[in-house]
Every structure is written in structure tokens, then in C-alpha cells.
A and B are shown apart, each in its own frame.
Chain A
Amino acid sequence: MVQLFSRHRQQIVSCDTPGMSTLRDQALESFLKLGFPNTKMEAWRQTDLTECLARGYDYPVERMPEEDTQKVFRCNIPHLDTAIIGQLNGWYVSKDVPLMELGNGIIMGSLAEAKKKYPELVEQYYGTVADSTSEAFTALNTAFAQDGVFIYVPDNVQSPKPVQLINVIQHDENLFLQSRNLIVVGKNARLSLVHCDDSYNHQASFSNIVSEIVIGDNAFMDHYKLQNLNNSSTLITTTCFRLGAAASLESHYLSLNGGLLRNNIRLHFNGPHGIANIYGIYLMDGKQHIDNQVFIDHAHPHCTSNEMFKGILDEHARGVFNGHVLVRKDAIKTDARQSNRNILLTDTAKVNSKPFLEIYNDDVKCSHGSTTGQLDNEAMFYLRQRGIGEDSARMLLMFAFADEVVGKIAIPQLRQRIEDMIKKRLQGELQICEACVLHCSTPEQPVEFYIDLSKI
């Protein structure tokens, strides 16, 4: 790693400001101290990376030639009007316009390019939200990441349509990717971001994505993370949010497929009256592994946070949830909720759940809940009694279970699309196929349950 870094140093730091390259050196140093996480560490106890790391990977340091973007990014959501930006193997797909500046002051494009063009703006935020000193993957990312997406929404500007960021991995070799995103939503601004991680073929990959998201005072952000990757891909995402006073965030983690997924979500309230809702749904089967780590730092009074993570685990899948809410001494009137619900469909699936509350203040309302079980027998009986076949009834119940999370999606077209995908996923039809990640031969036609309505 170090050799790799020193060999390509020139190339890696080519877009950096001097401050940033110091940050890189420091991060590399802390990564060398920390090393790759192992299962002896409390935060990684349930997620073993040995196998994933043992696969050989290529470390691309050069921008790869852009493929036919139309081919790669052809999966779109019907009727969803978004500003699409793409990332291929961690690099921003520029289509010759590396950085777009929209009329209303919104800047959107490649982070590498932004570092060159707006060094002051980037430097103001870059590396201030993510912690490169104690988290190995963040440190590694800070040391190596060259490109990613930069979105800047100035104060008092509302992004007219949702931004859709599609990150596709497509390469003939196994890739080890580091990509870094920086998203800044100014005061009183508004942004809706749909962030998709998809793989294109069945090649193994290891992605380490760090996103820093700064949400200004009174701003609002609607954030969707959609993960649909092949079974040999490893995806470590670290998303660090910083919320200003009275800012609000709606974040949705929708994990449908992936070999090993680890979502580190770090949220820091940087002012009073912030509101954060974080929802997650994961549907895992085969030997898939999902690990959601949510840390919420209530450092200021009158903030509200709500976590709801639900999962359905089939076959040999494994689901891990670690929630940590820290309420600091002065954070009075904090209202924090955590909930994690799991359904196990087989005896070989596994769940580890650790909702953890750490509270140093008496004027708070905090609660957490965790359940693990199976589909409700009575509900099952009720449906079957009304002539619904066992399979359909089970689908319906699972869908209803997932819908509590999916129903929170605020963009109607996206919600419709995710609902369809979840239906497909539950029927085992959502696959990573050769031609298209979001296998959708007839995207216009929603999936139906096989229910004879006349009998109901």
C-alpha cells in the first residue's frame, strides 16, 4: 500500500491543494497505525473482511477510459425526472463537462475538478466531517481517493429536481476502489439526492466510499442510498453527516443485493433543533452479509433522531445492526429513537443486533427496540383463510413489513420503483444479469402479486 502510494504519489495528489496533501499524509500515517479492521475490534466483531481482502485486486490510480455511458447508465426509473450524474469505477463520468455550474449557483461534478477550480470552497469542508484518525477505512480513503462527486447547493437555493448519482462498477479485473464525495447544502437550501451503487458484471470488487455531507442551518436534505451489487462485491460506505441548527435530514438505506455491505453512518448535530430520520431496509439471501452501523451524536439540545432498520434474511444471509446514540451532557430535550426489526426465514440465517444508548443527561426521551422473529402466524392464517395462497400470503406479509420503510420515500416515482424492485427481490427475480444491473425487461409494467381479487 505504502509502496503503491509513494510510486503514484504524484498522480494521486495532482489535484490537491497543499492543505489536502498534508491531510493525505496524516491519513496514511493513521491508516498504517490502524491497519485493516479485524474481528477482534468491537465495531467489526460481526463482520469478517479476511475473505474479501484475500482476493487479489487492482488498484487503479489512473482514470479509465469512459465506456459508452448510454450503455452503462441505461437503467433509469420511469417518469423520474432527475439530474443524473454518473460514476464509473469511482471516477466521475464527465461527458467532457467535468463540472457543471447551474444558473442558480448549484455546482455539480467531479471532486477532483472542483479541487482545482474551487480550492477554497472545497478545502473549507473537505475532511472536516469524516474522521480519518480513528477509522481505518476513512483514513485509507482520505489517503488514496482521487475523485468522486462534488455537489454544492448555495444558501437559500432549492435544487429544482432530485440529483441521481449512479455509481457503477464495471471492469474485467477485480477492482479496489476508493471514492470520495463531498456534498454541501447551504443555509435554507434544499437537496434531494438519490445515490445508487450498482455493479455491472460479476467481477469481484472492493469499494471504499466515503461521503461527507454538510447540511447548513434550516436546510433540508432528502437522501437515498440504493445498493444493488453482485455477490462477490464488497462495499464499505462511510457517510458522515453534519447538521446545522434546525436542519433536517431524511436518509434511506435500501440494500437489495451485495456480497458484503457495510454502511457506516455517522451523524453529528452541530446546532440545536435538528431533526434526522434514518431508515433502512435490507433483503439478503445466499451468503450475503449486511452490516449497518449508525452513530448519532446528540451534541446540542432539542434535537430529534429516529432510526428504523428492518431486514429480511433468507438462506445463509447475515444481518448486523449496531446503533449507537450518544447524548451529551448539554443536549437537553433530546428525543432519540432506535428500532431494528428482523425476520429470519431459515435456520441458517443469522442476526446480530446491538442498539446501544449512551446518555449523560436526564432531560431526554430515548428508547430503543429490537425484535427478531418470523412472519406472524395469525396474519398468515387470516390471509390464507381468505383464499390467498401460501406463497402469495408470505410475499404480501414480507412486502408489508418492508413497506414501513419504503413508504417513507418521498419521491413517488422512486417509491413505486423501489416497491416493484422489492416485490421482484422477494420473488427472487431481481438478479444481477449480464445486460443490466436493475434487470428490468419491462420497466413500465409493475410486478403484481398473484392474487385472485374476486376471491377476496
Chain B
Amino acid sequence: MESDSNKIIDEVTRGDYKYGFVTEIETEFAPIGLCEDTIRYISDKKREPGFMLEFRLKAYRHWLTMKQPDWAHLSIDPINFQDIIFYAAPKKKKDLSSLDEVDPELLATFNKLGISLDEQKKLSGVAVDAVIDSVSVKTTFTETLAKYGIIFCSFSEAVQNHPDLVKQYMGSVVPYTDNYFAALNSAVFSDGSFCFIPKGVHCPVELSTYFRINAANTGQFERTLIVAEEGAYVSYMEGCTAPQRDENQLHAAIVEIVAMKDASVKYSTVQNWYPGDKNGVGGIYNFVTKRGICKGSNSKISWTQVETGSAITWKYPSCILMGDNSVGEFYSVAVTNNQQQADTGTKMMHLGKNTKSTIVSKGISAGKSQNSYRGLVRVSKNATNSRNYSQCDSLLLGSLCGAHTWPYIQVENKSSIVEHEATTSKISEDQLFYCQQRGIDMESAIGLIVNGYAKEVLRQLPMEFAVEAQKLLSISLEGSVG
């Protein structure tokens, strides 16, 4: 059985990253390296108002004073920020008014990824914003959504058309001083998605952004801002892929969510950046700051993530539960294989009364990968009657990988209840035996067990994503060890 499982691991390990192609699109770049001029170049290129440039420069100057954090359980090759192109955009000939004018190469790219930007997508009722390299290429459905008063557009459009909203909310959840990568992003971010749901509106379709790094030597720095006003509801999805390259590429993103009174935001991610080959050559460095604030009472923010890609993942989607009775949720499946490293988890900051949070994290590590859960649950003195339940399980496949759990729990009042439990184990031999005994081969049995193990999280995903996530999970892991 041992040799069997080794064979299977080998097969899985050799499994190709199917999104590794490169599209030949005419692209324009910013000069290589980072200095104030680069930032002025980006800002100028995007014809931004003065406050944006000011914000960027402030962030850049702050970034210069900071050091790259080293507390995570990751070994990161030093990043040379002067070797990165901070802005790359598919060359635009003119403003696009309809889908027909989008570069056919681009459309083909997205079709290849299984995200068609064209009309047939209407049938599935998903509004898509596609971001390639640094720039949002096309947002579908904008007009339909506008009828409801919903603004869903690229970040640059929002800066042009709704500067007040951007000014009010940008940096209010993740200030540029927050951390090293947030400061970097604030200085050089190129585009992203902006989403505003007005008071009382239940967004009728799922909103989705698809990120794609295409050009070589570039970093991708996008910024997403979601604002849900009183009583609003939105479900938002995010997916990402990148071509297969030998060098490491940097991705440092920020996602900010603001949920007002009675609002509810559901954010789902399927992250599948190129993870590098089986020797750990290449792959994306994924440093993401995601944070939501439940500002009003009875608001709710729910994060669901399926992390399968990236050479290095450093990501802690968090909730600040400020309003009374607000709810934060975090569901995560993180899969690492080969030489991948993931240090991911969440922060739940209970500030308001009767706030509740749930954390379900499932780590799966195979090959020689290291998978860490790092989470903080903090109940402040005034957050009376708060409740947290955390569960983080790790599944180990193969004897060379590692799984680590670092929960931090801080409670400062007597009426709150915080519970945390975690287990680490390999796939149970009994379960495998049970399946095999019933004629299910080893590989399918493992697929079955892993899928069952992750089910709790996967079923939180919107339908469209759940299918993709399940497929991804089976590509990454189907049939690992017994």
C-alpha cells in the first residue's frame, strides 16, 4: 500500500497546472522598479484625482520605513522590489462600450479559463469583472445593476465617477499603515473592483471578479472595496489564475468590506494562482490583506475561501465585529502540495455586544508542503455575551509535510464563551479500508474522504464556485496517501 500511495502522490505531484498558458496580448508596462516616479506614472496613467496620488505617496513613504514581516511560518526568498514591474496593462485602443470591442485574444483567454464574459453568462446570472495583470478589462452587467442603484465597476472607474465614495471608504478598514504589504499595495495598486450596494437593496445576482496575472516579471496589486449600506445584501466571488513561469511573481492585494446596520456580505474566494512546479521553482507569492468591518448592528460578514494555489500564501481574512449583534464567519479549505507554503487563518475582533463568530478551517497538506493555521479571537471588555466557536482541523498526506495550528485566544469579560478545538491526523485507515472493501479504489476513496472532510466549507460556497472548488480539490489531491 505504501508504494501504491507513493505512486499516487507522484502522479498528483506531476499533475499539470492547467491554467499555466500565456496569452500574447499587447501590453504596456511601467518602468521596472519602484520609486516615487513609478507611483506618479501609475497615477498619471490612470488620470487620478489629486487625493489618490497623495494617498499613494503617503503610503509609499510609510512603506519605506517598514520591514518585511518575518513572524509567519514561511520561508520567503528575499523579494527584490526593484526587479518588479508594478504596472502592466493590456494596451487599450479606446474606451470599450460593448463586448465586441474587447480584444478577441483576451476574450479567448477568459473563455479558456472557463469564464466567458459574453452574453451566455447572463443565463447563469453572474456579473463578472475581469482583471488582467493590473487592469480591469471588462465588467459585465453594469447597466442592469445600475437599475437597482448598485455600483459594480472597476476601481479606476469608481475613482473617476464616484470619487466621494472612494474617498470616504478607501483605507477605512485597512489603513495604509496596517502592514508592510498593505502599505505597498496602497502605494502602487493599479485596479480592482468596487462595489456599492445602496440601502435596502438585495443584490439579485452574484458579483464576481476574475483576476489573471499574464505578463512576466510583473506584480499584481489590486484593491477591492465593497460597501453594503443599511439592510443591503451581496454575495461576491473572486477567482484567480496565473501562467506558469520560472520566476516568482508577487501578488499583494487588499480587500475591504464595510457592512452597515442589518447589511450582509458574503465573500467567496477560490484562489488558484500558479503554485510553482514540484521542485518549488516559480509560483506566485500571495500576500493579501482582507478585512471586513461590521459597522452597524445586526450586520454580517462571511468569508469563504478555497486556497489551492500560490507558492506562498499569507492571508488572514478578518472581521471587526463593531456593531451589536453582528456576526462574523470564516470558512476555509487550504490545500498545499509539493513545496507550497501557506500561513493562513483569520482574526475575529469582538467589540460589540452579543457578537458571534464561527471559524471552520480545514487544512490539507501533502508532498513537502507546510500548512499553518494562525487565528486570533479577541473578545474585548465591552463585548458582553459574545460567542465564538472555532474548529480547525488538519489532514496530513505523506510523511514529509507539516501542519501547524497557532490559535490565539484573548477573552476579557465573564459573559462570553469562546471555544476552540483542533485535530491533526492522517486519513483514517479504517475509513480507507471500509471504502476499499466495498470496491472503491484507493484513489477514489481518498477523493471521497477528502471531499467529505472539506464539505463543511465547500457547501458555504455559491453554486457556481462550489463546482469549481470541488474540481480543484480533486485535481490538487485526488488520491493522495493512505
Q: How far is the CA of A371 from the CA of B402 in the complex (A)?
A: 25
Counting CB contacts under 8 A, is A370 at the interface? yes
Closest to B424 in A: A366
Counting CB contacts under 8 A, is A369 at the interface? yes
Interface residue ranges of A141-192 to B (CB < 8 Å): none
Q: How far is the CA of A416 from the CA of B10 in the complex (A)?
A: 59
A350 touches B411 (CB 8 A): yes
Q: What are 10 of the A-B contact pairs (CB < 8 Å)?
A: A354-B408, A356-B404, A357-B405, A357-B424, A362-B399, A362-B481, A364-B425, A366-B424, A367-B423, A371-B418
Q: How far is the CA of A373 from the CA of B377 in the complex (A)?
A: 14
Contacts of A364 in B (CB 8 A): 396, 424-426
Counting CB contacts under 8 A, is A69 at the interface? no
B414 touches A344 (CB 8 A): yes
Interface residue ranges of A337-373 to B (CB < 8 Å): 342, 344-373
Chain B 393-431 interface 0/1 with A at a Cβ cutoff of 8 Å (1 = within): 010111111111111111111111111111111100000
A372 touches B416 (CB 8 A): yes
A359 touches B424 (CB 8 A): yes
CB proximity of A200 to chain B, nearest CB, Å: 34
Q: How far is the CA of A372 from the CA of B415 in the complex (A)?
A: 10
Contacts of A361 in B (CB 8 A): 396, 399
Q: How far is the CA of A207 from the CA of B116 in the complex (A)?
A: 70
A371 touches B419 (CB 8 A): yes
Closest to A357 in B: B405
A359 touches B411 (CB 8 A): no
Known: A344-B414, A353-B409. Is A329-B424 also a contact (CB below 8 A)? no
Further 17 A-B residue pairs, CB within 8 A, beyond A345-B414, A362-B401: A344-B411, A344-B414, A346-B414, A347-B384, A347-B414, A353-B407, A356-B404, A356-B406, A357-B404, A358-B402, A360-B402, A362-B481, A365-B424, A367-B421, A367-B424, A370-B409, A373-B416
B412 touches A359 (CB 8 A): no
Interface centre among B397, B409, B416, B426, by most A CB within 10 Å?
B409
Interface residues on B, range: 35 or more
A366 touches B423 (CB 8 A): yes
Closest to A374 in B: B414
CB proximity of A176 to chain B, nearest CB, Å: 31
A369 touches B424 (CB 8 A): no
Contacts of B404 in A (CB 8 A): 356-359
CB-CB nearest 5 A-B residue pairs: A362-B396, A373-B417, A353-B409, A366-B424, A344-B414
Interface centre among A329, A344, A349, by most B CB within 10 Å?
A344
Counting CB contacts under 8 A, is B58 at the interface? no
Counting CB contacts under 8 A, is B46 at the interface? no
Q: How far is the CA of A360 from the CA of B71 in the complex (A)?
A: 19
Interface residue ranges of B363-409 to A (CB < 8 Å): 381, 384, 394, 396-409
B407 touches A370 (CB 8 A): yes
Contacts of A350 in B (CB 8 A): 410-412
Closest to B379 in A: A372
B414 touches A363 (CB 8 A): no
Chain A 360-394 interface 0/1 with B at a Cβ cutoff of 8 Å (1 = within): 11111111111111100000000000000000000
Q: How far is the CA of A142 from the CA of B419 in the complex (A)?
A: 40
Known: A362-B397, A363-B399, A366-B424. Is A356-B407 also a contact (CB below 8 A)? yes
CB proximity of A353 to chain B, nearest CB, Å: 4
CB proximity of A320 to chain B, nearest CB, Å: 10
B422 touches A357 (CB 8 A): yes
Interface residues, chain B, CB within 8 Å of chain A?
A: 71, 381, 384, 394, 396-426, 481
Known: A357-B404, A371-B418. Is A366-B425 also a contact (CB below 8 A)? yes
Q: Out of A329, A366, A374, name the residue touching B417 (CB < 8 Å).
A: A374
A349 touches B414 (CB 8 A): yes
CB proximity of B160 to chain A, nearest CB, Å: 44
B394 touches A359 (CB 8 A): yes
A344 touches B413 (CB 8 A): yes
B412 touches A347 (CB 8 A): yes
Q: How far is the CA of A360 from the CA of B401 in the complex (A)?
A: 6
Interface residue ranges of A268-297 to B (CB < 8 Å): none
Closest to B391 in A: A369
Contacts of B421 in A (CB 8 A): 367-370
B426 touches A363 (CB 8 A): yes
Q: How far is the CA of A124 from the CA of B89 in the complex (A)?
A: 69
Q: How far is the CA of A365 from the CA of B409 in the complex (A)?
A: 23
Closest to B402 in A: A360
B411 touches A372 (CB 8 A): yes
CB proximity of A308 to chain B, nearest CB, Å: 14
Contacts of A332 in B (CB 8 A): 399
Interface residue ranges of A20-58 to B (CB < 8 Å): 42
A342 touches B411 (CB 8 A): yes
CB proximity of B135 to chain A, nearest CB, Å: 41
Contacts of A356 in B (CB 8 A): 404-407
Q: How far is the CA of A42 from the CA of B419 in the complex (A)?
A: 23
B399 touches A355 (CB 8 A): no
Q: Out of B397, B417, B424, name the residue touching A372 (CB < 8 Å).
A: B417
Contacts of B425 in A (CB 8 A): 364-366
Contacts of B398 in A (CB 8 A): 362
Known: A354-B408, A359-B403. Is A370-B420 also a contact (CB below 8 A)? yes
Contacts of A358 in B (CB 8 A): 402, 404
CB proximity of B395 to chain A, nearest CB, Å: 9
CB proximity of B348 to chain A, nearest CB, Å: 14
Contacts of B384 in A (CB 8 A): 347
Contacts of B422 in A (CB 8 A): 355, 357, 367-369
Contacts of B397 in A (CB 8 A): 362
Q: How far is the CA of A351 from the CA of B419 in the complex (A)?
A: 13
Contacts of B408 in A (CB 8 A): 352-354
Closest to B378 in A: A352
Contacts of B412 in A (CB 8 A): 347, 349-351
Closest to A349 in B: B414
CB proximity of A299 to chain B, nearest CB, Å: 15
Contacts of B407 in A (CB 8 A): 353-356, 368, 370
Q: How far is the CA of A372 from the CA of B411 in the complex (A)?
A: 7
Closest to B413 in A: A347
Known: A329-B399, A357-B404, A364-B396. Is A352-B424 also a contact (CB below 8 A)? no
CB proximity of B121 to chain A, nearest CB, Å: 42
A359 touches B402 (CB 8 A): yes
Contacts of B426 in A (CB 8 A): 362-364
Contacts of B424 in A (CB 8 A): 357, 359, 364-367
Contacts of A349 in B (CB 8 A): 412, 414
Q: How far is the CA of A369 from the CA of B405 in the complex (A)?
A: 11
Closest to A371 in B: B419
Q: How far is the CA of A373 from the CA of B421 in the complex (A)?
A: 15
CB proximity of A189 to chain B, nearest CB, Å: 34
